[in-house]
DNA sequence: AAATAGTCTTACGTAAAAGTCAATCAGCAA
DNA sequence: TTGCTGATTGACTTTTACGTAAGACTATTT
């Protein structure tokens, strides 16, 4: 039982199976410069770092971020810039994105509450049916 | 100062202004059977209930749900069915959707934590710069 | 009466994010 | 050698969620 990070390389199909996506999708992300697998001859070899990046991309997708937005988020994870202005700009961007995320979390919490309510109603009706039998 | 629910009708442009969307978008949602404004002659009149529905749709969009998924969610808000099998099915669907939402919330929390970390790094670097001056 | 603002339908256009298909190539087993 | 299996590139297609433009109608204001 090897941890993914112990493995040196992954093939493209291994990743498609692990994450339930197509090879086209992975190559698309490479075209979009989101990941940069190395090559042996022409075939792509994905390192654990590439795999982790892919996980971040897919997480972004689940949250409804576009490729462009995901690109922005990934950029924030790189080494912080050395220049003060750039640094302040990055802090601003981080703050903005965090604001969006808080909004989304609030949206989620509201929706969950509502669904809980729907479920309660259903269970209530179900109980009525059981009694009436 | 009238509360939106006190108002009897909204025009399409009032809603576009309130929510920052286009008339095309609203008409599109009607085409997709997500909302059903009434008509006076040919022009649409939106009741407070239509407005609330629109808010639910936009919340779904913020969360990255497709129109089809939003349609499913809205369907859950209608009167629960009377038949037991249907009722159980609905409960299952609600449970599924809630699972998705919990996943999203976890994704969000992770991302926020990471962004907090990025910000910390930035502030650290900024402090170093200030000292070095 | 003429202009302005808002609304309608219909229809074509478009950007994003892949899906799909064809032709090709490398490595390995039978 | 033949035949798979899995990989590649390139090009065309599709789906989703609207944008945009044309042409017509209505109500109100000047």
Give me the DSSP letters along A101-113: HHHHHHHHHHHHH
Number of separate domains in chain B = 2
Q: Are residues B93 and B125 in the same domain?
A: yes
Q: Are residues B52 and B76 in the same domain?
A: no
**Which of residues A62, A86, A111 is at a domain's end?**
A62
Residue B41 sits in a domain whose CATH number is 1.10.1660.10
DSSP strand E in B34-123: where? 38-40, 43-45
Cross-strand pairs, B43 = B40
Is A111 in Cβ contact with B59 (below 8 Å)? yes
Q: Are residues A56 and A73 in the same domain?
A: no
Q: Are residues B122 and B105 in the same domain?
A: yes
Asked if B51 CB < 7 A from strand C, the reply is no
Q: Are residues A1 and A27 in the same domain?
A: yes
Q: Are residues B16 and B74 in the same domain?
A: no
Cross-strand pairs, B45 = B38
Q: Are residues A14 and A1 in the same domain?
A: yes
Contacts of A56 (CB under 8 A, 6+ apart): A70, A73, A74, A77
pLDDT of residue B37: 98
What size, in residues, is chain A?
133
- The helix or strand, by DSSP H or E, that contains position A92, with its residue range, turns out to be helix A84-132
* Nucleotides in C strand less than 7 A from protein CB: 6-11, 16-21, 26-27
Instruction: Judge contact between A51 and A38, C-beta under 8 A.
Output: no
Is B64 in Cβ contact with A63 (below 8 Å)? yes
pTM for the whole structure: 0.94
Q: Are residues B27 and B75 in the same domain?
A: no
**Which of residues B62, B80, B105 is at a domain's end?**
B62
Q: Are residues B54 and B71 in the same domain?
A: no
Closest by Cβ to B119, choosing from A91, A108, A116: A91
Asked if B40 CB < 7 A from strand C, the reply is no
What residue numbers bound the domain in which A3 lies?
Answer: 1-62
**Which of residues B9, B42, B62 is at a domain's end?**
B62
Written as tens digits, the pLDDT of chain A (133 aa) is 567 787 899 999 999 999 999 999 999 999 999 999 999 999 999 999 999 999 999 999 999 999 999 999 999 999 999 999 999 999 999 999 999 999 999 999 999 999 999 999 999 999 999 887 7
Touching B: A residues 91-120, CB under 8 Å: 91, 94-95, 97-98, 101-105, 107-112, 114-116, 118-119
CA–CA separation, B35 and B48 (whole Å): 12
């Amino acid at each position: 039982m090897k941890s993914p990070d112990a493995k040196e390389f992954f093939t493209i199909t291994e990743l498609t199976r692990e994450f339930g996506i197509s090879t086209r999708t992975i190559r698309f992300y490479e075209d979009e410069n989101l990941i940069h697998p190395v090559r042996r001859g022409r075939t792509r070899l994905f390192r654990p770092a590439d795999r982790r990046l892919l996980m971040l991309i897919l997480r972004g997708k689940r949250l409804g971020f576009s490729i462009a937005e995901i690109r922005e988020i990934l950029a924030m994870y790189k080494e912080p810039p050395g220049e003060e202005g750039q640094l302040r700009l990055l802090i601003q961007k981080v703050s903005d994105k965090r604001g969006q995320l808080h909004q989304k979390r609030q949206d989620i919490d509201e929706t969950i509450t509502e669904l809980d309510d729907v479920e309660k109603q259903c269970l209530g009706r179900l109980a009525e049916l059981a009694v009436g039998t």
